[in-house]
Amino acid sequence: MITVLWVDDEIAHLQSHIRFLEKHGYKVLTASSGNTALDLLRKNRVDIVLMDQMMVGMDGLETVSILRKNYHALPVVMVTQSEEEELMDLAIGGEIDDYLTKPVNPSQILLVIKRLVMGTRLKTQRATREIVDHTARIMDIRSHEMDWREWVSIYRSWVEMDVASKGSLADEMKTVQKSRFDDLAMDFSKHVEHSFPDWIAGTGSDSPLMSHNYLERVVTPQLESSSELVMIIIDCMRYDQWLTMAPVLEKWFHIETEFMLTVLPSATPYSRNSIFAGLLPRDIWRFHRHRWVEHYGVPGLNRHEHEFLSEALKRLGCKRHSNPDYVKVSNRREGEVLLHSLSRHLQNGFLAIVVNYIDHLTHGRSELDLIRDLAPDVASFRSLAGTWFKSSFLKILFQTLAARGATVLVTSDHGSVFTTRDTRIRGRGVSGSIRYRYGSNMSVDSRTAITIRKPAEWGLPDDTPAKNYLFARSDYFMMFQNVPRSELQKFRSTFQHGGVSLEEMIVPSIVLKPKNMK
């Protein structure tokens, strides 16, 4: 039961309001002075305080000032006859959560209590119902061919509701038809298994925006209409992590949000090279064989991105911008160097930036127990990424670009998925990533991973006759037979990428248009 503490030196005149709240299931404690209120707080669990300002002795603001020394998160609503703006400013500035002027009706009181105390819970419950209903509709048409737009829609809805609920939606879903959502994740992998070759072969407007056509479909149209264009690729950024950054940017930019599907594997050597080259990995290998490196763990897998970008822009007819500047930022010092030299980098009107911080954070969490302890789940890891952004060079960069009037494109090469289940593989010459593998004569349980026997049809290099690829489905990670238990524990409950999941393959494609700052 929610407990309300109502503080007013004329509390006897408010009995009808108190009875109204009690009728709606609230417990109401009353106090006729600030001192009595503070004493009740020490002896009772209170969820919200309604505070009169004009009281004999210690007034409302004085009481709140003392209250806040020990109760920092307790919602407090000022209820007073005064409509003076100065008092309103003092109240809000004094950590008051809301302000009502007398006379108030019971419905006003009920509404403010619901908003401040139950708002997140009610939003979460509503979001849960909407997600369950949406999922039910999807499940009802599982036997039919689904459009990629429907998968983007349900993923977007899920993420936006979970972020708005500060992660409590995910907690709620643990107890609401979890198996149905597991089935949904597996269905997405089956949809990709069926549709991916058609997606990459498609040239019409109905084909999805993907890594290899991002330059053609997003970048080149913006180049034609922008005097300064900056393309920022935030490596390994999930949509929920972007949503922690977007509110900060709203005061500087108009934000247009679309989505892109990554090529496979959903991993940097493939998906990011595809963005810069405007080509599938198969075609990068065919046309730029001396620049293609696929061996997992070899340094410099993306060292030709600048060259790929220049050649792609020439091929797409963007001769005026065929010599763009390119900067890779891996730490704060490199970010500060970029900020100081921004005008020089934008002399030709187009700058491409790769930001590696979230990728480093993702891999660091897998390797360092400290980061894993700080961010044990999806919501806390998202919060960690948002905290970094708010004090990062990237935030300053966005603000500077808005002031310059530059158009900014933001996307990611891939996201990541929280892995919880392992599956075992067999094969020869198998690469080392746990979400995707390539090698010869590999085998895996088809319920847990997709096996690709004809790589070229999936836009992948077919440089050896027996080569095949494996992509983990949903939240699985692939390990060899007889691997030690300690090795399994190392990768369970970590963020990984390279496989087939909504979180890895659906990434935001953002266009930021600067607002008129004058």
**What CATH code is carried by the domain that includes residue 49?**
3.40.50.2300
401 pLDDT above the threshold of 50 = yes
Report CA torsion sign: 400, 401, 402, 405. positive
End of a domain among 161, 189, 217? 189
Do 272 and 368 share a domain, yes or no? Answer: yes
Non-local (6+) Cβ contacts of 352 within 8 A are: 230, 231, 233, 276, 305, 306, 309, 324, 325, 326, 327
* Residues 443/451, Cβ–Cβ less than 8 Å: yes
How many domains is the chain partitioned into structurally? 4
Residue 199 lies in a domain: no
Do 242 and 375 share a domain, yes or no? Answer: yes
Do 237 and 359 share a domain, yes or no? Answer: yes
Supply the range of the domain harboring residue 460: 418-497
184 pLDDT above the threshold of 90 = no
Tens of pLDDT along 233-254? 999 999 999 999 999 999 999 9
Residue 139 lies in a domain: yes
Do 375 and 334 share a domain, yes or no? Answer: yes
Residue 174's pLDDT band, with cuts at 50, 70 and 90, is low
Do 367 and 476 share a domain, yes or no? Answer: no
> Which residue bears the tokens 């809805």?
157
Do 43 and 149 share a domain, yes or no? Answer: no
Do 425 and 403 share a domain, yes or no? Answer: no
Do 47 and 164 share a domain, yes or no? Answer: no
Highest mean pLDDT pick, 3-17, 89-103, 479-493: 3-17
Residue 112 lies in a domain: no
Do 485 and 391 share a domain, yes or no? Answer: no
Residue 122's pLDDT band, with cuts at 50, 70 and 90, is low
Arithmetic mean of pLDDT, 375-394: 90
* Residues 506/393, Cβ–Cβ less than 8 Å: no
Residue 113 lies in a domain: no
**What is the 3-state composition of the chain as percent helix, strand, coil, each rounded to the nearest 5?**
50, 20, 30
Stated as kind and residue range, the H or E segment containing 355 is: strand 350-355
End of a domain among 104, 134, 149? 104
Q: What span, in angstroms and rounded, lies between the C-alpha atoms of 13 and 34? A: 17
Residue 124's pLDDT band, with cuts at 50, 70 and 90, is low
**Tokens matching residue 337:** 């160097």
Beta strands in 57-105 (DSSP E): 76-80, 98-101
Arithmetic mean of pLDDT, 12-36: 93
Do 26 and 100 share a domain, yes or no? Answer: yes
Q: What span, in angstroms and rounded, lies between the C-alpha atoms of 314 and 197? A: 27
181 pLDDT above the threshold of 80 = no
pLDDT recorded at residue 464: 85
518 pLDDT above the threshold of 50 = no
Do 346 and 457 share a domain, yes or no? Answer: no
Q: 42, exposed or middle or buried, with CB in 10 Å at 0-12, 13-18, 19+?
A: exposed
Mean pLDDT of the chain, nearest integer: 87
Tell me the percentage of the chain whose pLDDT exceeds 70: 87
Do 246 and 382 share a domain, yes or no? Answer: yes
Residue 21 lies in a domain: yes
pTM: 0.81
Highest mean pLDDT pick, 104-108, 117-121, 453-457: 453-457
Tell me the percentage of the chain whose pLDDT exceeds 90: 56
Tens of pLDDT along 42-58? 999 999 999 998 888 88
163 pLDDT above the threshold of 80 = yes
pLDDT recorded at residue 271: 96
Residue 110 lies in a domain: no
Q: What span, in angstroms and rounded, lies between the C-alpha atoms of 54 and 388? A: 43
* Residues 328/246, Cβ–Cβ less than 8 Å: no
Sheet of strand 407-411, all strands in order from the earlier edge strand to the far edge:
253-261, 506-514, 407-411, 229-234, 350-355, 325-329
Residue 337 lies in a domain: yes
**Tokens matching residue 378:** 């999806």
pLDDT recorded at residue 131: 65
Residue 465 lies in a domain: yes
